[in-house]
Structure 1
Amino acid sequence: MSKTLDAPKARRRRGAASNEVRIAAEVAQRTKRQGRGAAQALLVGGVPRVDLLPTEVLVDRRQRAVVRRVWLGVVLLTAAAGGVVLLTAADAIQQDAHLADVRRETDSLLLQQQQYRDVRSVETQSGLLRAAQSVGGSTEIDWQATLRGVQNSLPTGVAITGVQIDSATPLEAYTQSTGPLQGQRVATLTVDAASPTLPSVPSWLDAVKSLPGYVDANANSVTLDTSTGIYTVDMTIHLDKTVFDGKYTAKDKS
């Protein structure tokens, strides 16, 4: 009974062993074919190569390649620097040439100015004369017109017998009065007038207010000459800076 039960197990073991042998044979055959194909490929593809150089040689080669690249960079930088230097030098040469042209033009203008040196000298002298005239005439007063105005302001029958004039100069300021009620003045006109009758002094004081530059007027005295019967009036008139005619200044502006 035991022999009958163990027979299938023995058969199964033999079948498994047979399969393992078959598979191993197929693998061996496949490997053999692959080896043959590889050998054929090596034979057909080309000559086999083997790198037998030491590692130090390969490292040295790589280092040399790095050094060559570094030197190439140095050469490129040197070339770039040289280009910049050349451009700078070219620009400097151009600027020097422009400066030389400007200097030549300036020299030419100076030579042309030398031709008109006398004219410029005359113009300078004329300018100085005009300036001196303007300063010297800054305190100029048209006394003829002023005295005519005083004459026209006289009452009927009154005639001027004497005039004293005191005015400012370009080099000295006019002395001002210390009185608090007297205005600024640049000239003083003292007039002596004679009249056969007692003149109306208030009317005369009102009349002189129309004079150019009038500041104030005072009647100093009224006297009678008993031998002749003539009245003499002494009057002082103060004038301000508006009395200046400014004729030289006007010429200078024109």
Structure 2
Amino acid sequence: MSRTKKTATAVVGALPRVDLLPPEVRAERRSGVAVRRAWMGVIGVAAVVGIAVGGATLRSIEAQDELLSAQADTQQLLLEQGQYSDVRDLKTEITKLAAAQAVAGSTEIAWPSYLAQIEATLPEGVTVSTITIDQASPVAEYAQSENSLQAPRIGTVMFTAQSVTLPSVPDWLDGLATLPGYTDATPGTVDLKDGFYEASVTMHIDQRAFSNRFAPTEGE
């Protein structure tokens, strides 16, 4: 096994160079290069941040301008609406009056026409002599019968009829059953007074008898 011999080779014609700087100086130079590179990085980051901040500031200014424009439009709209405040107040009052009217008229029964319908059911030769009406109000419920077999009612009509001949009460009750809102009717006694027969009837009616004159229509 042979050993390889290292032979020193001299460079002919080269200038002799000797590095006489201490290692500390060389280390300081390398450190300076690193510091300069670090500062360049910091400057680059600062530039990017500055651009971002500038863009955000510009967007903030644009948003502020948009807000001021929207506020100006809103103020103008309020001024225009103020010109029509009287009309708006009038519409509000009309709405309130319509609502109050609907509540007050919710239990309205057109009694003149309803009583005319009652008289139309009377047998021939029979006339109504007295009528007593009791009905519900918008603020209080109508008293119901304790008899669970009787239907709910919103009013009671008690009347007396006269006839020179004995009236046919069953036929009369059949006629009353055709009236709107009719729930039931109870006949009373039939008496003969001063040559006239008098028959009394108590009739109950429900909400179908309401006129609904002030009820809101669909779409209101």
Name the CA distance, whole Å, in 2 between partners of 1:153 and 1:165: 18
The size of the alignment, in residue pairs, is 213
User: Which of 187, 191, 198 is the aligned partner of 1:232?
Assistant: 198
Return 5+ residue gaps in structure 1 as ranges: 1-30
Name the CA distance, whole Å, in 1 between partners of 2:16 and 2:192: 159
Name the CA distance, whole Å, in 2 between partners of 1:124 and 1:135: 17
Residue of structure 1 equivalent to 2:139: 171
Deviates more, 1:244-253 or 1:169-178: 244-253
CA deviations over 1:28-78 (Å, ceiling 9, x no partner): xxx9xx86xx425x3xxxx55433222111111111111112222222222
Three-state SS of the structure 1 residue aligned to 2:215 is helix
Residue of structure 2 equivalent to 1:117: 85
* Counterpart AA for 2:150: Q
Name the CA distance, whole Å, in 2 between partners of 1:208 and 1:168: 20
- Give the structure-1-normalised TM-score: 0.78
Equivalences for residues 21-170 of structure 1 within 5 A: 38-40=11-13, 42=14, 47-170=15-138
Residue of structure 1 equivalent to 2:189: 221
Bigger fraction of residues in helix? 1
Following superposition, the deviation at residue 231 of structure 1 comes to: 0.7
Residue of structure 2 equivalent to 1:198: 166
Return 5+ residue gaps in structure 2 as ranges: 1-6
CA deviations over 1:188-216 (Å, ceiling 9, x no partner): 11111101111111111111111001111
Instruction: Give percent identity, aligned residues only.
Output: 40
* Structure whose alpha-carbon radius of gyration is higher: 1
CA RMSD, aligned part only?
Answer: 1.9
Change in CA separation of 1:253 and 1:198 when aligned onto 2, cut-off 3 Å: farther
Following superposition, the deviation at residue 83 of structure 1 comes to: 2.1
Question: Is 2:217 the counterpart of 1:248?
Answer: no
Q: Is the contact between residue 184 and residue 240 of structure 1 (CA under 8 Å) also seen in structure 2?
A: yes
Name the CA distance, whole Å, in 2 between partners of 1:160 and 1:213: 20
* Counterpart AA for 2:69: D
Following superposition, the deviation at residue 252 of structure 1 comes to: 8.6
Change in CA separation of 1:232 and 1:245 when aligned onto 2, cut-off 3 Å: same
- Give the structure-2-normalised TM-score: 0.90
